[in-house]
Amino acid sequence: MLKIDVHAHYFPLDIIKEFKNKLNFSFNINSNKIKVIVGKNSWEGSAYNGFLNEEKLIEDLHNSEVDIRILSLAPISYLYDVDINIALSFYKKFNDKLSEISEKSKGKFMGIAGIPLQEPSIAVEELKRAVNDLGLKGVLIGTHILNWNLDDKKFEELFQSVSSLNIPILIHPQITDIICSENLRNYYFTNLLGVPIEDTIAVASLIMSGMIEKYNLRVIVPQGGGFLPYQIGRIDHGYKVRGNSADLNKIPSDFLKNMYFDNIVFNTKVLEFLINFVGEDHVVLGSDYPFKMGYYKPYEIIEKIKISEEDKDKIAEKNARLLFHI
């Protein structure tokens, strides 16, 4: 059994340096403490340095007991709020870099494409290049883009392309997306609660708008799906009694079959509930590498739960192989 990590991040130092002046990048690394500023957005916290250093990336892969790591852009900034030409140039170089790392590693690393979603038509062209020419395995989409939620009709062209390319979507918050209202200001609630809230709103919007159904999208939802698996009954009830959604052919919970949830829940009982509720075919390994709000060794929690060896094999490897066509 191999172990495939589908939720991990990379932010190459050489590209940071190249775009430093254009995007007002600054960064400071002190031991395992990292501070990054991108324009008006900043992030400071603990992380393993591999997301900035290719050699450390390989070392951490081995030490974390992962066989294949599927990388996406670190959520420091997805550049949705900068000039489209700068954002496109950045994403082209980033996607090229992911392809290069994948080729050099002989498949130990694979990539999920990043695209400049402030201009969906331009984003679609870069996505096609990243998948068809570079061999990237999926697409990263922020939980919302500027003031647009993912149910906005301007993204239909994108979802049509995702469907045609037969690739999965990784939904992921970024710094500017995380709900930072005043009552989340303390106790690191912007991450502890804000991140799963963002995940939940994004995916529920895709379901209730009919986007999932129309384009048969396959969506990876990090952080164990946010609050969605635990509140989907409420969403079903609201769909039945309120009618404030698209005219779906099935109830919202039926579209959990289109979702793949990572195991980043930090509690064995919660993980067992998730597996029992959505099915062992819809849970995958995730680390959130290199950030310490994830797992350094993502398989360890799987070893601790009461499921069959066959189901462990699905979560560790088989589900990801089917999802990404590996």
Q: What is the pLDDT of residues 241-258, one digit of tens each?
A: 987 777 899 999 999 999
Q: What is the pLDDT of residues 284-296, one digit of tens each?
A: 999 999 888 899 9
pLDDT value of residue 207: 97
DSSP assigned state of 145: B
- Mean pLDDT over 100-111 rounds to 94
Q: Are 145 and 80 a contacting pair, CB within 8 Å?
A: yes
Residue positions counted in the chain: 326
* 286 three-state secondary structure: coil
Question: What is the rounded CA–CA span in Å between residue 210 and residue 189?
Answer: 31
Q: Are 87 and 115 a contacting pair, CB within 8 Å?
A: no
What is this structure's pTM?
A: 0.93
Domain at 4-324, CATH homologous superfamily: Metal-dependent hydrolases (3.20.20.140)
Q: What is the pLDDT of residues 5-38, one digit of tens each?
A: 999 998 877 887 788 777 777 666 665 566 666 6
Position 185 confidence tier, pLDDT thresholds 50, 70, 90: confident
Question: Buried (b) or exposed (e) across 104-126, using 16+ Cβ within 10 A?
Answer: ebeebbbbbbbbbbbbbebbbeb
* 159 three-state secondary structure: helix
Q: Taking 70 as the threshold, does the pLDDT of residue 309 lie above it? A: yes
Question: What is the rounded CA–CA span in Å between residue 129 and residue 134?
Answer: 7
